[in-house]
C-alpha cells in the first residue's frame, strides 16, 4: 500500500509544464465539445425548446472550458515569476 502511494506521489514534470498542458487541452477541447454537442442536438432534439436549451448548455460548457484555459494561462505566468 505504501509503495502504491509513493508511485502516485511522484511528479512526471514540473508545475509550469503541467499548467501549460492543461491550458492547451482546455483550448483544444472547447471547440471540440461545442461541435460534438451541436451535432448531437441536431440529431436528437425534436422541438425548438430542446434545441435552444441544449445549444445554450453546450455554449456554456464550451465557454467555461475556454475560460478555464485562460485562467490556467494566467496562473502559469504568475507561478513563473
10 occurs within a structural domain: no
Q: Which residues span the domain enclosing 34?
A: 16-80
Q: Is 13 helix (H, G, I), strand (E, B) or coil?
A: coil
What is the model's pLDDT at position 55?
95
What is the model's pLDDT at position 5?
82
What is the model's pLDDT at position 1?
67
Show the DSSP H helices in 1-81 as ranges.
2-9, 15-44, 48-80
What is the model's pLDDT at position 32?
95
Q: Which of 71, 79, 72 is nearest to 21 (CA)?
A: 72
Helix axes 48-80, 15-44, angle to 10 degrees: 170
For 55, what's the count of Cα atoms within 13 Å in the CB-facing half-sphere?
Answer: 9
6 occurs within a structural domain: no
Number of independent structural domains in the chain: 1
Contact indicator for 68, 26 with CB cutoff of 8 Å: yes
Amino acid at each position: 500500500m505504501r509503495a502504491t502511494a509513493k508511485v502516485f506521489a511522484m511528479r512526471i514534470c514540473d508545475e509550469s509544464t503541467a499548467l501549460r498542458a492543461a491550458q492547451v487541452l482546455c483550448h483544444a477541447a472547447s471547440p471540440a465539445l461545442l461541435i460534438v454537442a451541436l451535432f448531437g442536438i441536431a440529431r436528437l432534439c425534436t422541438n425548438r425548446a430542446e434545441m435552444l436549451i441544449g445549444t445554450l448548455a453546450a455554449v456554456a460548457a464550451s465557454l467555461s472550458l475556454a475560460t478555464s484555459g485562460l485562467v490556467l494561462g494566467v496562473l502559469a505566468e504568475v507561478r513563473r515569476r
